A = this chain, B = another copy of it.
């Protein structure tokens, strides 16, 4: 709304300029005036763009204050790490290499706890590994004499950098250690090559590691203490939200079709599109959530991967809703009598399906198996059965061999083409209900796995449980 208003103002303004220049053109005052008008126009246009940009930024901040909090957290962490510079003993302690602590904070600080932990752990481990390796390579190089030293160091950098870069392409490595591989190359190159110029190489490696540890610990502290945003929690909420959207879209579309109402909220109807486009964000969230310790109701090793399966099931429903939408907007209009004939059962299927999805959302939200689920699925299936029967009886409307001639004219024989859109819609609805059953299955798997993990954690917390677990291993 607001940006639309802004746009309107922009358009109005342009019209005014055009008016102005056409008025001016009657007495042609020459190039100077033209240039002035154009410059004025450019400046005003720029001002308008800046205003729109600021408005967009303000709206974004107002809609999601957590983004603003994240920015303040980054500022806070950077200001704290700057203290290293201002405090003499700390600065001397890291041999003037305090810069690396700042660099670590800037590079490692991400909006969610999971992403930050992933980067922190990768950075620390890769730095340690590369540091030790580089010191070793430097020792070998220094043993090979002054003449060969550059060649040994150069060759080792070439080989290790190539291998590490190659590993970054392998999917399993990429999802867990992509950042680590990059830091490995970085640290190895810097430490190995510094050996040629820096005398106290071991000190350099030690300083780099300690500054990185200062930076990462500060990041972890700030990210987890000040309004933490957990990737896992985000993924969980996204899944629940998407289920609600799916349910609203499904119900909304079918209701709109059969009641011919255009009053439905368009945003609600288009909600399934969010489901279609959230694959990438689900994957990255699930990836980061693995690094998070237990938080809220989620244990460490909560079955995050199962959320991806649920996401895939939801998308398969959303594809069908997309096809449903195309039936609704189809040019071939269906006969009203057929619509009426099927409307009750179609609406029943859609409402029972959408309440099944709603219940699933509730079940994921509370992370327990809903006692009503089986009942709702049964209801959905019986609605589908009813729709099947109604479809069967459609043939009576079409096939008058079972009815008397006068009845035919009374019911009004419907052209076959006018049945097609409704029949297509009905069969897609039936397909959606089948896909919802698959969705129910994946949600149940999630709940079961999470309960199992809960039990394991509960057992491990008791000492005798640990003993038993050890014996079992």
Interface residues, chain A, with chain B CB atoms under 8 Å away: 53, 56-57, 60-61, 67-68, 70-72, 74-76, 78-79, 82, 85-86, 91, 96, 99, 102-103, 106-107, 150, 153-154, 157-159, 161-163, 165-167, 169-170, 172, 182, 185-186, 189-190, 193-194, 196-197, 277, 279-280, 316, 319-320, 322-323, 326-327, 330, 388, 391-392, 394-395, 398-401, 408, 413, 415-417, 420-421, 423-424, 426-428, 431
Contact = CB atoms under 8 A, between A and B. Distances in A.
A71 B162 contact: yes
Q: Give the secondary structure class of A's interface.
A: helix
B394 A416 contact: yes
Contacts of A421: 427
B399 A417 contact: no
A451 to B, nearest CB: 29
Given A82-B154, A186-B102, A197-B96, A161 B74 contact: yes
A166 B323 contact: no
Given A153-B82, A423-B424, A413 B399 contact: yes
A272 to B, nearest CB: 11
Contact of A401 (B68, B319, B401): B401
B56 A99 contact: no
Count of identical protomers in the assembly: 2
Contacts of A103: 186, 190
A401 B392 contact: no
A166 B66 CA distance: 11
A211 to B, nearest CB: 12
Contacts of A392: 415-417
A163 B72 CA distance: 9
A165 B197 contact: no
A60 B102 contact: no
Contact of A316 (B185, B322, B426): B322
Contact of A166 (B61, B172, B399, B424): B61
Select the residue from A106, A169, A182, A190 with max chain B CB neighbours within 10 A: A106
B75 A158 contact: yes
Contacts of A424: 423-424, 427-428
B74 A165 contact: yes
A183 to B, nearest CB: 9
Select the residue from A71, A150, A423 with max chain B CB neighbours within 10 A: A71
Nearest to A184: B106
Nearest to A326: B431
A57 B427 contact: no
Contacts of A60: 169-170
Contacts of A162: 71-72, 74-75
Contacts of A413: 399, 401
21 contacts: A60-B169, A67-B166, A67-B169, A71-B165, A78-B185, A78-B189, A79-B154, A82-B153, A102-B190, A103-B186, A106-B189, A277-B279, A316-B322, A319-B323, A323-B323, A327-B427, A330-B431, A392-B417, A395-B416, A401-B408, A420-B426
A103 B395 CA distance: 74
A326 B320 contact: yes
B70 A165 contact: yes
